[in-house]
Amino acid sequence: MKPGIHPEYGPVVYQDMSTGDQILTRSTESSRETIEWSDGNTYPLIKVDITSASHPFWTGATRVLDAAGQVEKFRRRYGARR
């Protein structure tokens, strides 16, 4: 590898905004926000909208899609085609 062209690779904490779960891992991503981890060290904090802790596929929670309601909403908005 060429020196000086690659981003820094180090420990960061990802926080799921919907569940509050936190994951300590390594990444090239950085942040101005920091958090003190249970080991006493301070790491950059990166907030994300969804992780495996909140994703429906991994949690087993399913969302019910109201397809009939969406079709009616579309027809009201644009009219039925004849």
**Of the candidates 78, 20, 27, 74, the residue with the CA atom closest to the CA atom of residue 47:** 20
| Residue 5 lies inside a defined structural domain of this protein | no
Q: Could you read off the pLDDT of 12-23 as tens digits, one per residue? A: 999 998 888 999
The range of the structural domain enclosing residue 33 comes to: 10-78
Confidence (pTM): 0.65
- DSSP E strand stretches across 5-59: 10-16, 22-27, 34-36, 42-48
Q: Could you read off the pLDDT of 24-71 as tens digits, one per residue? A: 999 999 899 999 999 999 999 999 988 877 776 767 776 666 667 787
* Domains in the chain, number: 1
Neighbours of 58 (CB within 10 A): 11
Structure tokens at 7: 């981003």
| Residue 2 lies inside a defined structural domain of this protein | no
